[in-house]
Amino acid sequence: MRKEDCVFSEPVRTALLKDKPVVALESTIISHGMPYPENFKTALQVEDLVKNNGAIPATIAILQGKVHVGLDRQEIEYLSKKGKSVWKCSTRDLAYVLAQKLDGATTVSATMVIAHRVGIHFFVTGGIGGAHRGSETTFDISTDLIELGRTPVCVICAGVKAILDIPKTLEVLETQGVTVITYGQEEFPAFYFASSGIRSHIRVDQLEDISRIFAMNRRWNLSSGMLVAVPVPQKDKDTADRVEAGMQQALEELKEKQLTGSAVTPFLLERIADLTGGDSLKLNIELILNNAAIGAQLARHYASYQTDSSNRDVQI
């Protein structure tokens, strides 16, 4: 992919030319992550939070076979209303969706690829995919983990979705050479839940330090990305219990339906939202907004750090 193959919004184009902080945002969360109009409202809120924290938002999607880096309000609303009729586009689907001139909402992996190719270093999402429960026999492991191992982008998320096998996911990330950092606590977070019960390999309490670590990743030209796991702000115990109960029931129903692959996560998220009366959706929105603020601050610190010529990315 070449930069001329992309359509840039004017704010994103200007920011990239001037080395200003830019934060990439995925579009699958708009089309497949939640219903209309919550998806539209949340997408605009996320962009506003990125701006308010000193960076330029770049929501990434494919519209009529063209990669768009930065969407305007009308384009976000278009994706919001199209919903699941838009192609859910991971790395494996990019060539097909582009060649067929389709509309595609980019997943974590596809967004990472595009962000890296156009020079965006930071990417905010809700939670990444991972190794599914039972993946030791099904081999159902998300492309997100493979992309993190070969694409040097800093991904800010609320950890791994609790519906996945978190220990196996962290093992795969280790095998891929991905630096995994938990912000501000010892335990790795689990999307809806601040703690998974699994100790994080690295804890960092200051955002400036996380930005410096990523700068060192870039300076040494490491091929792998970096994952920054941000715990969701704590909610009351009753809400957490309802979400936990809904998740367990949804997992049981998943076994009965025998769904696999890309159908698993959308089914579980939608079913958990139904079973919790919308509590999980509210938590989902809360954690995305929290991640957006943190990601923008990281991008801003990194840009400031890079203004010192001795800290700029170098080829080894």
- In tens, the pLDDT along 231-240 reads 998 766 677 7
Q: Is residue 237 included in any domain, yes or no?
A: no
In this structure, are residues 132 and 268 in contact, taking their beta carbons and an 8 Å threshold? no
Q: Is residue 240 included in any domain, yes or no?
A: no
pLDDT at 14 over 80: yes
256 is catalytic: no
Q: How many domains, in total, are found in the chain?
A: 1
pLDDT at 299 over 80: yes
Mean pLDDT of 144-156: 97
Q: Is residue 202 included in any domain, yes or no?
A: yes
Percentage, residues of the chain above pLDDT 90 = 69
Percentage, residues of the chain above pLDDT 70 = 94
Q: Is residue 285 included in any domain, yes or no?
A: no
- Average pLDDT of the chain is 91
Q: Is residue 104 included in any domain, yes or no?
A: yes
Mean pLDDT of 137-159: 93
pLDDT for position 312:
54
| Higher-scoring residue by pLDDT: 288, 307 | 288
pLDDT at 171 over 80: yes
Mean pLDDT of 5-29: 96
| Higher-scoring residue by pLDDT: 282, 10 | 10
pLDDT for position 316:
34
pLDDT at 107 over 70: yes
**Nearest-angstrom CA–CA distance, 57 and 296:** 8
What residues make up the domain containing 204?
3-231+291-311
Single out the catalytic residue among 77, 88, 161, 187. Answer: 161
pLDDT for position 2:
61
**The two structure tokens encoding residue 304:** 């400031």
pLDDT at 131 over 90: no
Mean pLDDT of 101-116: 97
Q: Is residue 197 included in any domain, yes or no?
A: yes
161 is catalytic: yes
Mean pLDDT of 107-118: 97
pLDDT digits (tens, 9 = 90+) for 219-271: 999 999 999 999 998 766 677 778 888 888 988 888 888 777 667 777 887 88
Q: Which range is least confidently modeled, 10-24, 86-100, 276-290?
A: 276-290
Q: How confident is the model at residue 314 (pLDDT cuts 50, 70, 90)?
A: very low
- CATH number for position 212: 3.40.1790.10
pLDDT for position 127:
92
Q: Is residue 33 included in any domain, yes or no?
A: yes
Q: What is the pTM assigned to this prediction?
A: 0.91
Q: Is residue 79 included in any domain, yes or no?
A: yes
Mean pLDDT of 296-302: 97
Please count the other Cβ atoms lying within 10 Å of the Cβ belonging to residue 301: 21
pLDDT at 192 over 90: no
